[in-house]
Amino acid sequence: MGKYGLLEETIKAGNGVAAAYGVVLPDGERVGDITFSKQSAERLVGLLNENEVELCHARDVIEDYIFNETTLEIKYYGE
The number of folded domains in the chain is 1
Identify the pLDDT of residue 45: 97
Chain segment 15-51, per-residue pLDDT in tens = 999 999 999 999 999 999 999 999 999 999 999 999 9
Identify the pLDDT of residue 13: 79
Cβ contacts of 59 within 8 Å, gap of 6 or more: 31
Find the domain containing 41 and state its range. 5-78
Residue 73's pLDDT band (cuts 50, 70, 90): low
Q: Distance of CA 27 to CAs 1, 19, 73, Å? A: 9, 23, 31
Complete DSSP assignment for 7-73? EEEEEEETTEEEEEEEEE-TTS-EEEEEES-HHHHHHHHHHHHHTT--HHHHHHHHHHHHHHHHHHH
Read off the pTM: 0.84
